[in-house]
């Protein structure tokens, strides 16, 4: 059914697609819930019209999905790493082949520009391909002991893992979580955000088509209640969550009751430091990338922009000029660079932050207002103009709290010591950035920034080979890179005695 939906998409599909397929998936097929209740409408951000209904899973459905995953896990874990790799490579190939249509459906459900969505889908198949390459390399250690005895270690899967995704990168996050999990021999039950339930089911169908056992990657829809059921289920071995700090704390608390390991990729209020010796053209482009990708709805965005006082006028002039020139509108048009925010409520929340900033003394240099595209079918969409705020202080709400929208707060600084103190004065620690031509300063600043990632002379690039995760309240554990294998596997030590037992009794 998903393939027929993809086949029906055309480049002018904004405002025309209706999703009628079932969005829950386990046992190798889409599942129609018998007692469908508490239906939640899902909206197309660019038009504001209803796209589909999300049917949340209750305790019975969650248990069915997890039981299905457990059965598949028992088969998958026995396969050699190279056997698992071949299946995963086939899944990556299918995604590559269908990238344009998957990206289009992602745009319709999420609101970001097609240009960005295509990059997201490419990162998705690259993630699966990367971990497929690692599946055959998982190995233990041999340790020689006295008297001919020896020990060895085995890297073993955890079991059924739960992935809980966010709405800003629906398909990509599903791949980021499932790829290392499957490479290690686990199964996964994935819960997308209730705002973006559509594309994770495509991934489930692609994994099935590639040859995974039925039930290895399942999708359950729902909100907080469904997430709670997943975290508490006794057959779940691990939970990986991407989302807000308050929800992450609840996930951690619930998982702790079952002594389940968790990976938490949470929010941020990241600093971007621009020194006077920077290449200004690159610094301006970096600031735009750090604030306006996916309509500013990115957890690692560098929304606190610290600029050396001497270059502040030139920086502001250029960044405002380029922000005003960002093409807003139909996210499926190739020329669009900024689409719609995820929901009407979220749009109003972001606009509320701008109004609060003005009350606290910030100056709006551009944007920060509702935007209505000229295309009639987009008049109900959740658009706003990208905003640059000047005259900001460290104690302002717009500087302290995560806005999660296209709002850049700019502040001046005078010395390196001062800006490092201010940059680190936050409960978050997801990302950071520095623009400078001084290589010593670049590495010195990177070493002193309290964040899981530091970009030097760039921002918001996420190669699958590189670990991603936070410090402080931005979470712990990592996604991407080799280290993630350790978060989806466990180590068993086997001790072998080759002689007689030396007993004290």
Joined tokens for residue 429: 């620690």
Please give the order of strands across the beta sheet that includes 150-157.
142-144, 150-157, 489-496
Count CB atoms within 10 A of the CB of residue 428. Answer: 27
Mutual orientation of helices 170-183 and 199-210 as an angle, nearest 10°? 30
What is the separation of C-alpha 183 from the centre of its chain, rounded to a whole number of angstroms? 19
Helices (H), 42-169: 59-76, 81-97, 99-110, 114-135
Per residue, the 3-state secondary structure of 235-252, as one string, reads CEEEEEEECCHHHHHHHH
Contacts of 398 (CB under 8 A, 6+ apart): 353, 354, 356, 357, 360, 362, 389, 392, 407, 409
Contact 107, 96 (CB under 8 A): no
Of 219, 229, 239, nearest to 33 by C-alpha is 219
Catalytic residue list contains 265: yes
Of 186, 55, 168, nearest to 405 by C-alpha is 168
Mutual orientation of helices 99-110 and 81-97 as an angle, nearest 10°? 70
Of 184, 139, 136, 140, nearest to 160 by C-alpha is 184
Tokens 């002991």 map to which residue? 145
Candidates 161, 184, 278, 299; catalytic one: 299
Of 374, 375, 328, 325, nearest to 347 by C-alpha is 328
What is the separation of C-alpha 111 from the centre of its chain, rounded to a whole number of angstroms? 15
What is the separation of C-alpha 74 from the centre of its chain, rounded to a whole number of angstroms? 28
Candidates 265, 402, 416, 479; catalytic one: 265
DSSP string of 254-308, one letter each residue: HHHTTT--EEEE-----EEEE-TTS-HHHHHHHHHHHHHGGGG--TT---EEEEE
What are φ and ψ of residue 212, in 5° steps? -70, 155
Cβ density class 405-421: b for 16+ within 10 Å, e for less: bbbbbbbbbeebeebbe
Return the active site residues: 265, 299
């Amino acid at each position: 059914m998903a393939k027929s939906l993809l086949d029906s998409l055309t480049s002018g599909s904004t405002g025309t697609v209706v999703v009628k397929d079932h969005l829950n998936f386990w046992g190798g097929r889409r599942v129609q819930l018998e007692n469908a209740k508490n239906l939640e409408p899902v909206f197309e951000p660019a038009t504001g019209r209803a796209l589909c209904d999300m049917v949340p899973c209750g305790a019975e459905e969650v248990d069915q999905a997890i039981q299905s995953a457990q059965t598949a896990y028992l088969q998958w874990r026995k396969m050699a790493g190279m056997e698992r790799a071949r299946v995963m490579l086939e899944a990556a190939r299918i995604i590559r082949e269908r990238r344009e249509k998957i990206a289009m459906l992602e745009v319709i459900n999420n609101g970001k520009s097609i240009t960005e969505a295509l990059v997201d889908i490419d990162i998705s198949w690259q993630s699966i391909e990367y971990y497929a390459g690692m599946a055959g390399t998982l190995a233990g250690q041999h340790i020689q002991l006295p008297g001919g005895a020896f020990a060895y270690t085995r890297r073993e899967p955890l079991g059924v893992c739960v992935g809980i995704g966010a709405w800003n990168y629906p398909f990509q996050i599903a791949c980021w979580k499932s790829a290392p999990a499957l490479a290690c021999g686990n199964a996964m039950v994935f819960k997308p955000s209730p705002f973006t339930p559509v594309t994770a089911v495509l991934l489930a169908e692609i994994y099935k088509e590639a040859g995974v056992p039925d039930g290895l990657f399942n999708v359950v829809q729902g909100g907080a209640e469904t997430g709670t059921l997943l975290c508490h289920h006794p057959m779940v071995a691990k939970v990986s969550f991407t989302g807000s700090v308050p929800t992450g704390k609840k996930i951690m608390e619930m998982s702790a009751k079952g002594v389940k390991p968790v990976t938490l990729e949470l929010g941020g209020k990241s600093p971007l430091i621009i020194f006077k010796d920077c290449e200004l053209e690159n610094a301006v482009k970096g600031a735009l990338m750090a604030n306006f990708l996916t309509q500013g709805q990115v957890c690692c965005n560098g929304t606190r922009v610290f600029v050396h006082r001497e270059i502040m006028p030139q920086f502001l002039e250029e960044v405002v000029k380029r922000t005003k020139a960002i093409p807003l509108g139909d996210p499926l048009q190739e020329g669009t660079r900024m689409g719609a925010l995820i929901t009407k409520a979220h749009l109003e929340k972001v606009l509320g932050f701008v109004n609060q900033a003005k009350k606290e003394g910030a100056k709006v240099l551009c944007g920060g207002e509702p935007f209505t595209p000229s295309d009639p079918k987009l008049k109900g969409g959740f658009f706003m103009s990208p905003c640059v705020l000047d005259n900001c202080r460290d104690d302002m709400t717009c500087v302290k709290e995560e806005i999660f929208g296209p709002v850049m707060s700019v502040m001046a600084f005078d010395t390196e010591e001062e800006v490092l103190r201010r940059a680190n004065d936050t409960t978050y620690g997801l990302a950071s950035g520095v623009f400078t031509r001084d290589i010593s300063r670049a590495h010195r600043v990177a070493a002193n920034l309290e964040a899981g990632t530091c970009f030097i002379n760039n921002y918001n690039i996420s190669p699958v080979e590189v670990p991603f995760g936070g410090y402080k309240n931005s979470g712990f554990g990592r996604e991407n890179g080799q280290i993630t294998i350790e978060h989806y596997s466990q180590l068993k030590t086997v001790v072998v005695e080759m002689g007689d037992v030396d007993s004290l009794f």
